Amino acid sequence: MYMDKVLFFKSFLRSPLQVASLIPSSPFLVNHIARHVNQLAPLRVAELGAGTGVLTRALVDECPSIQSLLVFENEKNLKNHLRNIFPRLPVYADAFALHEAMQEQGIGQLDCIISALPVSWFSAEQNEYLMELVYRCLKPGGAFIMFQFSLQMRKYLRMTFQDIKIKYVPLNFLPAFVYYCYKM
């Protein structure tokens, strides 16, 4: 756990635009999201921006319904770390290639997509494309869960999803807003 924090911090220093935080998500944030995902009982899930894998570990350990988990991490040291600790999971670099990864894995649509991508650094066009991509890859009734440190993404989410709930998780560095969005 300590080494994960060191790896994460070093990755942040090397690539602050790819790694949006100084340290991995707190157990409070991870448990908040994992509990919700477990209640959804999804079969096919993608995690965008997995970092050191703290949420990935919770999904693997606490969400028994998951049959397919696609993991995305663009920062190369974190991506290699994920491949080492989760050798049976497919780990991809580019979250914008989500659809291609799904095709490669034989997945038609996803039940749930979770994102910790550093979208505050994305252009408006990238954020709009990300929302279109997520919506296209989700099955009807599917959930998109995104956590961020601001409410900046509300406008993009509202352009895409009709059913949006926002929860605040203060026990995280930085405190996080978790968006729960559902495809109609």
pLDDT digits (tens, 9 = 90+) for 62-108: 999 999 999 999 999 999 999 999 999 999 999 999 999 999 999 99
What's the whole-model pTM score?
Answer: 0.91
The DSSP string of 114-149 is EE---GGGS-HHHHHHHHHHHHHHEEEEEEEEEEES
Number of domains in the chain: 1
What's the CATH code of the domain at 103? 3.40.50.150
Residues spanned by the domain of 124: 2-182
Indicate the DSSP class of residue 34. H
Residues 142/148/151/156 CA torsion (nearest 10 deg): -50
pLDDT bucket at 130, cuts 50 / 70 / 90: very high
Whether 27 contacts 57, CB under 8 Å: no
Q: Which residues pair with 71 in a beta bridge?
A: 47, 91
Q: Where residue 173 falls among pLDDT bands split at 50, 70, 90?
A: confident
pLDDT tier for residue 22 given thresholds of 50, 70 and 90: very low
DSSP-based three-state secondary structure for 169: strand
Give the integer Cα–Cα distance in Å for 90 and 79. Answer: 11
Tokens of 21: 């935080």
Whether 22 contacts 12, CB under 8 Å: yes
Determine phi and psi for 35, rounding to 5 degrees. -60, -45
Question: What backbone torsions phi and psi does residue 164 show, to the nearest 5 degrees?
Answer: -130, 130
